[in-house]
Amino acid sequence: MKHHDLQEKLHGIWNRKHLALLTLMAVILTAAAATNYAAALYILTGADDTAIVLDGKTAVPDLSSQMVFVTTGGRDYDVTLAADQTVTIRRNGETQTVQSRKESISSLLERMDIVPSPLETVAVNLAGPGVEITVEEEIIYYDRVVEEVAFDTVRIANPEMKKGTEKVVQEGADGVRTSIYEVVFSNGQELSRQFVEEVDSTAVDQIVEYGTAVDATVNNKSAISSVSKNSDGSGTLTLTDGGTLSFSAVKSMTATAYTAGHGGVDNCTATGTSVRVGTVAVDKRVIPLGTKLYIVTNDGIVYGTAVAEDTGVKGNKVDLYFDTYQQCINFGRRGCTVYILK
């Protein structure tokens, strides 16, 4: 395939100041009565943005802006060049340069003893100062198309929203877009058409925010993946499960453990809730009751999210609830980091 060589040339055209994107005009020529010229598919490319197919059924467009004009004979079409244009002709790896007369492209090729077969395609590039003609069985060019397009949905993480929830913050709307397609012609017919890029679009994206914040009323033991801190001491925890937690402050404290049925502890907290993993006893002068917390010990034990619902300790300490007495014994007393959640 000659894909890369031709694509580099076409990309050179795209990089010009006005992005002179290629336009397809397929012109089917049949043998004229006065010549033995073989039928061939013609593809004209230029700087115009509108694709026009001349198939013998549609009116011939005005191509004067491209310095060429079309002559017709019944259902046949041909392109007449202005005199003294520089024409570069490439075929089977060979290149010829000739000055045009006031003649059709078919006459020019016949004058140069080039007779395309029915399986060959004649690509005529009118975008530059001269005319470039390529005669090959396989031609690759770029087609600019205006088409209807459905809106896309963009999902954005919101660390302030509860994980598992989402909301539409911008409604989507279908529209019209201008697109570039890479087209491969082989053996006289279109072989493939592949989307390359979107030049512009009137479609409006639908924007959906989804929550990543973990509900601190449910104990979450996911470890911390990363910590982002602000200058005021607040920040965001990113957990290994993908959730995020926003905190307003960080405290270094001492953690102990307790459970119901030992040390006079029953099943009811000082705030009237039932004890469970995630219940924490605090000195309410240090941490107000009802405060949501995330706790990890300095040696890496993740207690996770918790709520200050109980009392019974004094000073810079937190007492963590466990289900069994043996778990409390195993935990003992440890230094910990307590994130005060928003």
User: Phi-psi category of 34—alpha, beta or left, where left has phi over 0 and alpha has psi -120 to 50?
Assistant: alpha
Amino acid 19: pLDDT = 26
Q: CA-to-CA distance for 8 and 102, rounded, in angstroms?
A: 31
Residue 125: how many CA atoms within 13 Å on its side-chain side? 25
The more confidently predicted of residues 178 and 16 is: 178
> Which DSSP string corresponds to 161-172?
EETT-EEEEE--
Query: Which of 98-107, 181-190, 265-274, 332-341 is predicted with the least confidence, judged by mean pLDDT?
Result: 181-190
Judged against a pLDDT cut of 90, whether residue 62 lies above it is answered with no
Average pLDDT (35-52) is 44
Amino acid 46: pLDDT = 55
φ, ψ for residue 336, nearest 5 deg: -150, 165
- Mean pLDDT across the chain: 77
Greatest Cα pair distance in the chain: 114
The pLDDT tens digits of the residues spanning 150-159 come to 999 999 988 7
What are the angstrom distances between the C-alpha of 141 and each of 81, 130, 186, 283? Answer: 22, 18, 12, 75
Determine if the pTM surpasses 0.75.
Answer: no
Residue 309: pLDDT band with limits 50, 70, 90: very high
Domains and CATH numbers, the chain: 3-144 (no CATH), 214-341 (2.40.40.10)
Cα 313-317-318 angle, rounded to 5 deg: 80
